[in-house]
Amino acid sequence: MLKFGVIGFGYWGPNVVRNLNQLEDVQVLAICDKSAQARRRVQKAYPHVEISADPHELLSSSKIDAIAVVTPVWTHYELAKTALQQGKHVFVEKPFTSTADQAKELIELAAKKNRKIMVDHTFLFTGAVKKISQLLGEGILGKLYYYDSTRVNLGLFQHDINVIWDLAPHDLSIMNHLISANPEAIVATGQTHLNGFEDVAFITLYFPDQLIAHLNVNWLSPVKVRMTLIGGEKKMLVWNDLEADEKVKLYDKGVDITNREGLYNLLVNYRSGDMWAPQIEQVEALHGELAYFVDCIVKDKTPVNDGEAGLRVVRMLEAACESLRQRGRLVYL
């Protein structure tokens, strides 16, 4: 029986607790939140769990094997560091840390203590991303041309981070997982309108071999959009995460240039074939992810969303914000 302590029971924490509780061989022993209101919600939902206002009670408890850090990003580093120092495995929310240096320190500490870090890049465990990963792995799309994601809605305004640190970790972690090459450079532009943090941002990532990625993240959109287009030489893919069925559609569409001798001799052939919507596994991603975390601990495996994966995302977030501050200067990664 693996015993967990969960720190943070705000918006996301209850999902982590609920999914941990559904796992066999896992017990949520204690939940901590600084807010009295959050602790009252814990008491009502989980009357038999130990409740605390002080994270150090959980972090120093010899009864706890693993800690889930589900608090705002600026608290992740200190809480995860203490947990690792106390010999606990750590499941930490995205984005992993506030700086790349903090992430590197935690990775080194985990290696020294022989403990696992898993960063909650939840989307990697969705049926849609698993299917897209499989299709790309099989080379169905051919050479990739572009990755273009729109993740916009009204709010939720965060009080400590801008829209890039809030929403882009999802896209960066997905992109990082799906595309084996690493981006070479990044350009980001954005604007603050209301609370001093950028609420609208556009990020472009340049990859080797003419692959380009673009992310649109926005807290000021009247409608919610979760749409990713992936264009390849052989096929093109549309992932609309708000679709109940047929979230992923694969289009046999493309462009073939048949004659390259001189501009006026170009023969552009537009291919427009069938559309296919593959079957997508319907599972709660967080459930699969937490089960995988437990499996990685028990079998001593390195998770795909380990500290290194978290660090890669934090590096891109830092570079994007550096570019943003300079109104879109190209920043090399």
Ligand X SMILES: NC(=O)c1ccc[n+]([C@@H]2O[C@H](COP(=O)([O-])OP(=O)(O)OC[C@H]3O[C@@H](n4cnc5c(N)ncnc54)[C@H](O)[C@@H]3O)[C@@H](O)[C@H]2O)c1
Q: What is the dihedral of CA 135, 139, 145, 149, to 10 degrees?
A: 10
Is 162 a binder of ligand X (CB under 6 A)?
no
Shortest CB 10 distance to ligand X, Å? 2
How far is the C-alpha of 142 from the C-alpha of 12, rounded, in Å? Answer: 37
Range in contact with ligand X (rule: CB under 6 A) among 21-29, 65-73, 290-298, 313-321: 65-73
285 C-beta neighbours (distance < 10 Å), count: 20
Structure tokens at 70: 């589900």
Least distance between ligand X and beta carbon 289 (Å): 9
Output the CA torsion sign for 92, 95, 96, 99: negative
Going by C-beta distance under 8 Å and a sequence separation of 6 or more, which residues neighbour residue 261? none
Among 26, 29, 65, 71, binds ligand X (CB under 6 A): 71
Query: Contact between 50 and ligand X (CB under 6 A)?
Result: no
Span interacting with ligand X, options 27-35, 100-108, 209-217, 276-284, rule CB under 6 A: 27-35
Stretch that binds ligand X, among 71-79, 177-185, 276-284, 313-321 (CB under 6 A): 71-79
Q: Which stretch binds ligand X (CB under 6 A): 29-37, 98-106, 231-239, 293-301?
A: 29-37
Q: Quick check: 70 binds ligand X (CB under 6 A)?
A: yes
Residue 12 touching ligand X (CB under 6 A): yes
CB of 156: closest distance to ligand X in angstroms? 8
- Using CB under 6 A as the binding rule, whether residue 55 contacts ligand X is answered as yes
Q: Report residue 149 as tokens.
A: 């994601």
Question: 30, 32, 103, 213: which one contacts ligand X (CB under 6 A)?
Answer: 32
Could you tell me which of 197, 233, 235, 229 has the C-alpha nearest to residue 216?
Answer: 229
Smaller CB separation from ligand X, 35 or 210 = 35
Q: Does 31 bind ligand X (CB under 6 A)?
A: no
Separation CA 199–CA 130 (nearest Å): 30
Q: Which residue(s) pair with 215 in the sheet? A: 149, 203
- Give the residue, chosen from 94, 151, 177, 312, that forms a contact with ligand X under the rule CB under 6 A: 94
120-139 mask for ligand X (x: CB under 6 A)?
x-x-----------------
Residue listed under structure tokens 């572009």? 146
Is residue 33 near ligand X by the rule CB under 6 A?
Answer: yes
Measured on CA atoms in the order 320, 321, 327, 332, is the torsion positive or negative?
negative
- Shorter beta-carbon distance to ligand X: residue 39 or 253: 39
Which residues in 193-325 belong to E strands, given as ranges?
Answer: 198-206, 212-218, 220-232, 236-240, 248-257, 268-276
Please say whether the beta carbons of 155 and 220 come within 8 A: no
Dihedral pair phi/psi, residue 135, rounded to 5°? -65, -40
Which one of 4, 6, 13, 307 is in contact with ligand X (CB under 6 A)?
Answer: 13
Closest to ligand X by CB, 141 or 285: 285
Residues of this chain that bind ligand X (CB under 6 A): 7-13, 32-35, 38, 55, 70-73, 75, 93-94, 120, 122
